[in-house]
């Protein structure tokens, strides 16, 4: 059984439930990656989308409302149902088992996603995005601090070889001023005096 045939057979397990909740098949989208071909099956119901990624087994399950989305794991975890979750991203010889487990998990999402207005999905998606944004901000900040420390080191090197103007220019590019020590302040003051004398 090839990958697409396996996906189509598995979707037959889910489709009665999806159709019952007015989700119609939308499209297949295939992406080639390092691990081979990955196919996404998409089902739509107005603003809602159910997306299932498959590569010889179910790999990714996403619930989407407009541009807000959550993975199956995060959705159930945020609902406090992680311990009851049947579908796990586990490879198995029984190709229909992940679809069966997924169908069993759908019961936890009926009120919010399949029948409801996706209130929890929207809330959790925004929360998740905020966490990622904050993590990204902190990662960038750490990265920028590293660069500022490198700049300070370079400014000190330029000072040692009496390139006062260049040293001062580099110090002016330091974003995190709290990294500038008393030694650096003295170097900056010396450079400014030396440049002023040479004008």
Is the same domain home to 16 and 95? yes
Is the same domain home to 109 and 138? no
Is the same domain home to 19 and 106? yes
What is the torsion angle, in degrees rounded to the nearest 10, for the CA atoms of residue 126, residue 129, residue 134 and residue 140?
A: -150
In a domain, 99, yes or no: yes
Is the same domain home to 92 and 140? no
Is the same domain home to 96 and 13? yes
pLDDT per residue over 75-114, tens digit each?
999 999 989 999 986 667 788 999 999 999 999 999 999 9
Is the same domain home to 111 and 149? no
Indicate whether 36 pLDDT > 70.
Answer: no
For residue 128, the model assigns a pLDDT of 82
In a domain, 128, yes or no: no
In a domain, 127, yes or no: no
Considering 71, 88, 117, which residue would you say is the last residue of a domain?
A: 117
- Edge-to-edge strands, sheet with 68-71: 24-33, 36-45, 48-54, 58-65, 68-71
Question: Pick from 17, 69, 16: which is nearest to 40 by CA?
Answer: 69
Question: Pick from 51, 64, 65: which is nearest to 14 by CA?
Answer: 51
Indicate whether 1 pLDDT > 60.
Answer: no
Considering 117, 144, 173, which residue would you say is the last residue of a domain?
A: 117
Domains in the chain, number: 2
pLDDT per residue over 105-138, tens digit each?
999 999 999 999 999 999 998 888 877 777 777 7
Q: What is the mean pLDDT of residues 42-61?
A: 91
Q: Which of the two residues, 198 and 43, has the higher pLDDT score? A: 43
DSSP type of residue 23: P
Distance of CA 18 to the CA centre of its chain: 27
Is the same domain home to 178 and 100? no
For residue 34, the model assigns a pLDDT of 59
Is the same domain home to 149 and 110? no
The 3-state secondary structure of 112-149, one letter per residue: HHHCCCCHHHHHHHHHHHHHHHHHHHHHHHHHHHHHHH
Indicate whether 16 pLDDT > 90.
Answer: yes
Which residues constitute the domain of residue 88? Answer: 3-117
Is the same domain home to 92 and 190? no
């Amino acid at each position: 059984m090839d990958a697409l045939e396996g996906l189509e057979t598995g979707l037959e397990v889910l489709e009665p439930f999806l159709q019952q909740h007015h989700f119609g098949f939308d499209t297949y989208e295939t992406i080639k990656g390092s691990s081979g071909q990955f196919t996404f099956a998409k089902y739509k119901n107005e603003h809602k989308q159910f997306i299932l990624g498959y590569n010889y087994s179910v790999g990714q399950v996403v619930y989407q409302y407009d541009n807000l989305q959550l993975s199956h794991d995060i959705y159930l975890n945020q609902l406090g149902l992680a311990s009851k979750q049947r579908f796990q991203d586990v490879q198995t010889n029984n190709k229909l088992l992940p679809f069966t487990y997924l169908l069993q998990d759908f019961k936890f999402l009926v009120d919010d996603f399949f029948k409801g207005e996706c209130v929890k999905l929207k809330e959790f998606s925004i929360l998740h995005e905020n966490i990622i944004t904050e993590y990204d901000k902190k990662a960038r900040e750490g990265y920028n601090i590293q660069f500022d420390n490198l700049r300070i080191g370079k400014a000190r090197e330029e000072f040692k070889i009496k390139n006062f103007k260049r040293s001062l220019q580099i110090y002016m590019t330091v974003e995190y001023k709290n990294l500038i020590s008393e030694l650096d302040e003295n170097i900056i003051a010396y450079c400014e005096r030396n440049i002023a004398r040479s004008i």
